[in-house]
Structure 1
Amino acid sequence: MNPTIAMITFRAMLGRRRALLLLALPLVLLVLAAVLRYTGNDDLDISADVLQKFGLATLLPLLALIAGTGVIGPEIDDGQIMYVLTKPIPRQVVVLTKLAVAIVLVTAFAVVPTLLAGLILTGTTAQMTPAFTVGVLVGGVTYSAVFVALAVASRNAVTIGLLYALVWESLLGNFAPGAKSASIQQWALSVTDALTSASPVKSSVDLPVAIPLLVAVALAGTFLAVHRLRSLAVASAD
Structure 2
Amino acid sequence: MNTTIAHITFRGMLGRRRALLLFLLPGILLLLAVALKATGNDTQDSGAAILWTFGLAVLLPLLSLIAGTGVIGPEIDDGQIMYVLTKPISRSSVILTKYLCAVALVAVFAVLPVWLAGAIVLGPSSDLPLSFAVGAFLGGLAYCAVFTALAVATRQAVTVGLIYALVWESLVGNFAPGTQTLSIQQWALSIVDRLSSSSLINATVGLPLSVVLLVLVTAAALALATTRLRTLTLTSAD
Residue segments in structure 2 that go unaligned for 5+ positions in a row: none
Deviation, structure 1 residue 46: 1.1
- The aligned amino acid for 1:189 is L
How many Å separate the matches in 2 of 1:155 and 1:124?
A: 44
Q: Deviation digits for residues 72-118 of structure 1, max 9, x if unmatched?
A: 00000010001100000000000000000000000000000001001
Q: What does 1:1-238 align with in structure 2 at a 5 Å threshold?
A: 1-238=1-238
How many Å separate the matches in 1 of 2:40 and 2:220?
A: 44
TM-score (norm 1): 0.99
How many Å separate the matches in 2 of 1:114 and 1:177?
A: 25
SS in 1 for 2:127: helix
The runs of at least 4 consecutive aligned structure 1 residues that moved more than 4 Å come to: none
Check whether the contact 1:126–1:197 (CA below 8 A) recurs between aligned residues: no
- The aligned amino acid for 1:188 is A
Percent sequence identity is 62
How many Å separate the matches in 2 of 1:178 and 1:76?
A: 36
Check whether the contact 1:131–1:196 (CA below 8 A) recurs between aligned residues: yes
How many Å separate the matches in 2 of 1:42 and 1:122?
A: 6
How many Å separate the matches in 2 of 1:30 and 1:199?
A: 24
SS in 2 for 1:197: coil
Q: How many residues align?
A: 238
- The aligned amino acid for 2:136 is V
Deviation, structure 1 residue 19: 0.9
How many Å separate the matches in 1 of 2:179 and 2:211?
A: 17
Deviation, structure 1 residue 177: 1.3
How many Å separate the matches in 1 of 2:7 and 2:126?
A: 39
Check whether the contact 1:99–1:148 (CA below 8 A) recurs between aligned residues: yes
Check whether the contact 1:124–1:130 (CA below 8 A) recurs between aligned residues: no
- The aligned amino acid for 1:236 is S
- The aligned amino acid for 1:11 is R
Deviation, structure 1 residue 126: 4.1
How many Å separate the matches in 1 of 2:200 and 2:181?
A: 18
SS in 2 for 1:198: coil
Residue segments in structure 1 that go unaligned for 5+ positions in a row: none
Q: Deviation digits for residues 33-87 of structure 1, max 9, x if unmatched?
A: 0000110111101110100010000000000000000000000001000110000
TM-score (norm 2): 0.99
Check whether the contact 1:139–1:184 (CA below 8 A) recurs between aligned residues: yes
- The aligned amino acid for 2:194 is A
- The aligned amino acid for 1:217 is V
- The aligned amino acid for 2:83 is Y
How many Å separate the matches in 2 of 1:56 and 1:17?
A: 24
Deviation, structure 1 residue 123: 1.9
How many Å separate the matches in 1 of 2:204 and 2:150?
A: 26
Check whether the contact 1:126–1:198 (CA below 8 A) recurs between aligned residues: no
SS in 1 for 2:26: helix
